[in-house]
Amino acid sequence: MMEIMEGSHAVANAVRMCRPQVIAAYPITPQTHIVEALAEMVADCRLDAEYITVESEFSALSACLGASAAGSRVYSATTSQGLALMFEVCFNTAGLRLPVVMSIVNRALGAPLSIWNDQQDSIALRDSGWLQFYAEDNQEATDLHYVAYRVAEDRRVLLPAFVCFDGYILSHTYEPVEMLTEEQVDRYLPKYRPVHRLDSADPISIGLFASPDYYTEFRYQIDQAVKGSMQVIREAGRQFGEMFGRDYASPVEEYRMDDADCAIVAMGSICGTAKDAIDEMRKEGRKAGLLRIRTFRPFPAEEVRKALSGVSSVAVLDKNISLGSKGAVALEVRDALYGSGVPVLDYIIALGGRDVAKKDIKSVVDMAAAGKGDLFYGLREEVLR
Amino acid sequence: MALGLGCSSRPGTSRANRTGSWRTFRPVFLHDKCTKCGLCVSVCPEGCVVADSEGIPEPDYDYCKGCGLCAEECPAGAIEMQKEEK
């Protein structure tokens, strides 16, 4: 049924239908509405889950890690500084192969303190072993939670997953969202059956110490699992499409790429603006297209290479910056296109909530066509003097 | 030892997991000098020096970390620490 809902509430509703058995989260702007709504559902007995109130995000994810190790389906949500505080636990959750699903309501990282949107927070955890999905709109943000649980808990994967969507731009915006019914979700998402779990009747140890003889092989296995998850993502995404009509089989979305001359590459809600800008440019006879990255981890290098091999310039919009280097998406795209000769230019854009309008997208395409890039877009020179 | 998914394992890995790979120096027991006093057996912090039925001590290299305590304490100078070649 189509409903007009706030993004956070749509996500909370989707999470409820995924039937998490344990939720541990700490409220932080702009994620608060999600966990607030879930706490209410638990209090009202609309969701049969253990809701653990904790004193920090470090504890929130630690509780999730423990609950997942005990065999439960678990959920958390955070953003920005909260995610930064989870850093250590994030790496451990992935290493222990625990399929925790967490919503990341993307927000800038301090300093300077900012509550507004960019994607620095989840990008900073790109090396942690968590799968990372980025939603363009609230429909996708909602759907990706079902897909994320399916993929994360698949025995070929067993890895945690972030479902990332832009703070405020999506989380606090009311949009029409087609909500699945509980029966539909139950058909798509089977009960979680852990391979092994902490059980005093049948004890195991998890999180063992690994000497230099073993550590490399453990890390290799995790890397193989992250890479191998791509196939499972395709299957789970395709099946979602077959059952509900919205297909997430591809880790990327191509928009007007068929005969595109300049390709924009981006993730998240900025792609909505880019699509509108591309439509206008097309009317003006300019052949621009968009390649939207939905799955950032594992990185879909093959699809990126395929989609971009024929274009004359690639403009990557990065809502993050690996300080001292470039934006994380541009680095990946360049790596994927290595040897192809296609120029990849990077534009650090929309940091800390700075708005991006259609004219900005057009201006980036102009700059890319002129070979001008690898820069912070729209720097206010007057405040730098 | 095969790796358990998610760094997991059944109880008892302290024995199954060979930890001797940390070693940089390995103790070599020179049996012609050994007086079978048994000091090396009692000072080994890993408990991995064991005397056989004739009282001749031998280290278990699967667990010996190469700390050198046995060599340091051996009154007969019958234990030499040699650089481990890997």
Task: Tell whether the model's pLDDT for residue A364 goes beyond 90.
Answer: yes
A253-281 average pLDDT score: 98
Residues A233 and A295 in one domain: no
A143: which 2 tokens?
A: 């759907």
Number of compact structural domains in chain A: 2
Check whether residue A65 and residue A189 sit in a common domain. Answer: yes
A110 reaches B (C-beta below 8 A): no
Question: In Å, how far are A204, A214, B6, B9 from A208, measured between CA atoms?
Answer: 10, 11, 9, 8
Q: What is the CATH number of the domain that holds B64?
A: 3.30.70.20
Task: Kindly state whether A104 is in contact with chain B, defined as any CB-CB distance less than 8 angstroms.
Answer: no
In chain B, which residues have their Cβ closer than 8 Å to the Cβ of A221? 3
The pLDDT value given to residue A10? 98
Range A176-182 average pLDDT: 97
Q: What is the pLDDT of residue A193?
A: 95
- A232 and A278 co-located in one domain: no
Tell me the pLDDT tens digit for each residue of A140-168: 999 999 999 999 999 999 999 999 999 99
Within a domain: residue B39?
yes
> Is B17 an interface residue toward A (CB < 8 Å)?
yes
For residue A290, the 8-state DSSP code is: E
In a domain, B3, yes or no: no
Contact in structure between A77 and A8 (CB atoms under 8 Å):
no
Phi, psi of B26 (to 5 degrees): -110, 135
Domain boundary among A204, A227, A244: A244
Is A66 found in the same domain as A42? yes
Structure pTM?
Answer: 0.93
CA A117 to CA A270: how far, in whole Å? 11
Q: How confident is the model at residue B21 (pLDDT cuts 50, 70, 90)?
A: confident
User: Are A227 and A290 in the same domain?
Assistant: no
Which residues from A are below 8 Å from B7, CB to CB? 95-96, 206-208, 210, 218
In a shared domain, residues A144 and A237: yes
Total domain count, chain B:
1
Tell me what pLDDT residue A93 has. 98
Domain interval for residue A96 = 2-244
Host domain of residue B36: 24-83
- Residue B2 has a pLDDT of 72
List beta partners, residue B36.
Answer: none
Say whether both A180 and A260 belong to one domain.
Answer: no
Using the Cα atoms of residue A356, residue A360, residue A361 and residue A364 in order, give the sign of their dihedral: negative
Same domain for A230 and A296, yes or no, is: no
Of B6, B10, B22, which has the smallest distance from its Cβ to A96's Cβ? Answer: B6
Residues A256 and A336 occupy one common structural domain: yes
Are A42 and A104 contained in the same domain?
Answer: yes
- Mean pLDDT for A288-315 is 97
Domain annotation covers residue B1: no
A204 and A79 in a common domain:
yes
Q: In CATH, what number is assigned to the domain containing residue A105? A: 3.40.50.970
- Among residues A224, A244, A264, the one where a domain terminates is A244
pLDDT at A45 over 90: yes
Write down which residue in A218, A244, A270 finishes a domain.
A244
Question: Which one, of A16, A34, A298, A234, lies nearest residue A146 by Cα?
Answer: A16
Please state the ipTM of this predicted complex.
0.72
Judge whether residue A125 has pLDDT over 60: yes
Give residue B19's pLDDT band: very low, low, confident or very high (50, 70, 90).
Answer: confident
Per-residue pLDDT tens over the stretch A218-227: 999 999 999 9
* Nearest-angstrom CA–CA distance, A368 and A312: 9
Residue A205 has pLDDT above 60, yes or no: yes
Using a CB-CB cut-off of 8 Å, the residues of chain B touching A208 are 4, 7-9, 13
Percentage of residues in chain A with pLDDT exceeding 90?
A: 96
Out of A62-76, A186-200, B12-26, which region has the weakest mean confidence (pLDDT)? Answer: B12-26
Residues A276 and A197 in one domain: no
Q: Return mean pLDDT, chain B.
A: 91
pLDDT at B5: 86
Q: Is the pLDDT of residue B1 over 70?
A: no
- In angstroms, the CA A319 to CA A360 distance is 14
Report yes or no on B12 lying in a domain: no
Mean pLDDT (whole number) for A355-362: 98
What is the band of A299 on the pLDDT scale with cuts at 50, 70, 90? very high
What is the residue-wise DSSP string for A24-72? EE---TTTHHHHHHHHHHHHTTSS--EEEE-SSHHHHHHHHHHHHHTT-
Share above pLDDT 70 across residues of chain B, in percent, rounded to a whole number: 98
User: Starting from the edge strand earliest in sequence, which strands make up the sheet with A375-376, in order?
Assistant: A252-255, A288-293, A262-266, A313-318, A344-348, A375-376
What is the mean predicted confidence (pLDDT) over A32-61? 98
Over residues B9-20, the mean pLDDT reads 79
Whether pLDDT at B47 is above 60: yes
Q: Is A65 exposed, middle or buried (0-12, 13-18, 19+ CB in 10 A)?
A: buried
Which chain B residues touch A195 with a CB distance below 8 Å?
5
